Structure 1
Amino acid sequence: MLHIPALGAKSEIAVYEGRTEESLDLGSWHYPGTASAGEPGNFVALGHRTTRPAPFHDLHLLKRGDRIEAADSAGTYTYKVVEIRVTSSSDRRIVDPGSFGTLRGSSGRYLTLVTCHPLGSSAKRLVVVAEQAVPVSGKR
């Protein structure tokens, strides 16, 4: 689960394993091969903005410094937004934790949220990058 307080009423977002349309129809999905929440590396989640249930509809409202919590069976991990950018729909660097290296500190633990941009179009991608802000509170 993701909890994004800045999104108000839509702040709770389910994250499913598996790269399927069914996962996207339920919430968002964890991009295969990327880190899990709280682990070193880049935990990447993708979700729709305009089709049901549109969990990332208001992602454009986030600002640098906003808090994002990712929770799983091992614990809850807090991240702070460090970058928001629009990129091409073919940009695969978004899953690489080193691609934004100059913007990140030394935690080595990142969360990247990806959705289509602009609203109603899949021409580009809106990418929100967050870095783990506090020590791991889970078992990892």
Structure 2
Amino acid sequence: MAILEAPPPEKSRGRGGRAVRTVGELLITAGLVVLLFVVYELYVTDLFSAEKQASATAGLDQDWAQGRELHSDLIDGKAFAKLYIPSFGADYHFTIQEGTDAAALEVGPGHYKGTALPGEPGNFAVAGHRVGKGSPFNDLDLLSSCDAIVVETQSDFFVYRVLPHSDELANWATGKGKQPQCAKVSTLRTDAPGGGPYGQTVGREVVSPDQGDVVAPVPHQPADALPAAQQVALLTLTTCHPQFSDKQRLIVHAVLTNQFPKTPGATYAQLLQAIGGA
């Protein structure tokens, strides 16, 4: 009976093979770490923020029900208004906190301290995350000119509408500007050189992170460019751009078109009927 010989051992691949294997293992580990981080940012932080947002909303509702005045005495990190965007669906609503630090933005959109309050002349500016932590401004790039953005305070509903986009300016009066929802939306341009103080203000723009003048009382102008009495009442929303990156900022500018004092029992649904939906 023949005896089968054991196969010869494989030749060692040497240091090069071990190095390749080690690098491969490190890459797999790094990939898993990145995947876990993405899951955490996209889903886990959303859950945490949803809880904080619900708590902030409940606290704000309680303050309003008890008649506590919040409009003129804002407290860092405390909710003072609500934000609705009808074109994002009836269930889209967030409380707005005072401040734009990390803690405030984990709860929801945050008001840039020192900018105008809702309905006031100047620029009521609000920041929000685009990905993770509730993602309140994830779809900000989908807003079209004249889309409504509603801010609710203790006493009023303020309706802002997105300004014309840069490619709509030239034909605004004879084009989209003739649509019913755009009746109170203009380009804000004058016959002055460069279009006047608001000559650089459009409904949507992408800027670098250091371009803080987008939230100035008159966007892209010095703070004293116009006296307060001559300033338009604007709303500015800011978020990171593109998605999953903070290299730039996506900016949406809107102008105040309506103010509805709240009556007992007034609801957001009733407001939508009054303004004809989005």
User: Do both share a fold (TM > 0.5)?
Assistant: yes
Structure with higher RCO (Cα < 8 A, 6+ apart) = 1
Residue number in structure 1 paired with 2:219: 99
Instruction: Give the strand-richer structure, 1 or 2.
Output: 1
1:129-140 to structure 2, matched below 5 A, reads: 129-134=253-258, 136-138=259-261
Structure 1 portions without partners, runs of 5+: none
Q: Give the TM-score, by structure 2 length.
A: 0.46
- How many equivalent residue pairs? 134
CA distance in 1, matches of 2:247, 2:205: 14
Match of residue 56, structure 1, among 137, 150, 171? 137
- The residue correspondences of 1:91-130 to structure 2 (distance < 5 A) are 91-99=211-219, 108-130=232-254
Q: Give the match for residue 74 of structure 2.
A: none
Please report the RMSD computed on the Cα atoms of aligned residues, expressed in angstroms.
1.9
Give unpaired runs (5+ residues) of structure 2: 1-81, 164-202, 222-229, 263-278
CA distance in 1, matches of 2:89, 2:251: 19
Change (3 A) 1:58 1:10: farther
Quick check: 1:7–1:61 contact (8 Å CA) kept in 2? Answer: no
Structure having the higher Rg:
2
Give the Å deviation of 1:123. 0.4
Choose which of 207, 231, 234 in structure 2 pairs with 1:87. 207
Which one has a larger percent helix, Structure 1 or Structure 2? 2
Partner of residue 124, structure 2: 43
Instruction: Determine the C-alpha separation between the residues in 2 that align with 1:38 and 1:116.
Output: 25
Superposed CA deviations along residues 64-90 of structure 1, whole A, max 9, x for unmatched, are 010000111121100000001111111
| Cα deviation digits, residues 14-73 of structure 1 (max 9, x gap) | 210123212111111000000111111100000000021110011111010100001111
* Conservation of the 8 A alpha-carbon contact between 1:10 and 1:55: no
Residues 83-117 of structure 1: per-residue CA shift (max 9 Å, x gap): 0111111101111132268xxxx771110000000
Q: Which 4+ runs in 1 deviate beyond 4 A?
A: none
For residue 68 of structure 1, what is the aligned residue in structure 2? 149
Percent identity between matched residues is: 37
Aligned counterparts of 2:138 and 2:252: Cα–Cα separation in 1? 13
For residue 207 of structure 2, what is the amino acid of its counterpart? T
SS at match of 2:250: strand
**Normalization by structure 1: what TM-score?**
0.88
